[in-house]
Amino acid sequence: MAVRHAFTVDEWHCMGEAGLFGDCARVELLDGEVRQMSPIGSLHVFVVNRLTYLLVTRVGLRGVVSVQNPVVLNERSEPEPDVAVLAESRPDVLANPDETFLLVEVSHSSLDYDVGWKAPYYARTGIRECWVVDVVARTVTVMRDPSPDGYRRQQVLGPGDVLSIEALDGIAVAVEEVFGE
């Protein structure tokens, strides 16, 4: 019977080139479906900017910090995570899971969606590490060891804890720093 059309990344790019969604609409392609992204509030912006500063300064030349840019997960998914730490950035092709060290989603009202559906989807596509930053609870859920069933390891870090990136040795970010403390 008639089923929802699952868009491919190629179709998605064609839609973008045709000028769909305008310049302002916040949409992403996830599992063949065009989904609206949450509006960004000031606290969200603040935390994304904090994370950008912290990750750029700590990762340095060992990776590229890509902010609110698309990552191609598979032929039907091209989300725009809040922050991605990539092995490299190239002029002719978007990042893929193999060269992605970390994806970060900053979450205000979308925590259930980000932790319950989006992160497991990232795991299925092989993204090796995902953080979901809860700006309300001021915690960071760190998820590692991706599998088809989701991340096998999941830990909620709060004040006093230190974030690290498994694929990059020696990086330390205190949770408080993420929230500007």
Partner 1 sequence: MTAVDGRPVGGSSPPYSFTVEEWHVMLEAGVFGADARVELIDGTVMDLDEVGPDHAATVQALAVLLRQAAEPRAVVAIECPVVLDDHSEPLPDLVVVGPTPGDSPLAPADLLLLVEVSSSPSLDYDLHQKAPLYARAGVRDYWVTDLEARTVTVMRSPSPSGYRDRTTHRGGPLAIVGLDGAPIAVEAVFS
Contacting positions for partner 1 (CB under 8 A): 1-5, 7, 11, 14-15, 17-21, 27, 31, 33-38, 109-110, 112-113, 116-118
Q: Least distance (Å) from partner 1 to the CB of residue 21?
A: 8
Q: Least distance (Å) from partner 1 to the CB of residue 6?
A: 8
Distances (CA, A) of 32 to 5, 72, 75, 123, 135: 7, 12, 8, 16, 28
Which one, 110 or 164, has the nearer CB to partner 1?
110
Q: Least distance (Å) from partner 1 to the CB of residue 77?
A: 13
Segment holding 155, helix H or strand E: strand 150-157
β-strands 64-67, 83-86 pairing: antiparallel
Which one, 1 or 24, has the nearer CB to partner 1?
1
Q: Least distance (Å) from partner 1 to the CB of residue 137?
A: 16
Q: Which residues touch 41 (CB under 8 Å, ≥6 apart)?
A: 108
Smallest CA-to-CA distance from 13 within 70, 60, 96 is with 70
Which one, 2 or 93, has the nearer CB to partner 1?
2
Distances (CA, A) of 179 to 17, 23, 56, 130: 37, 29, 16, 18
Which one, 7 or 131, has the nearer CB to partner 1?
7
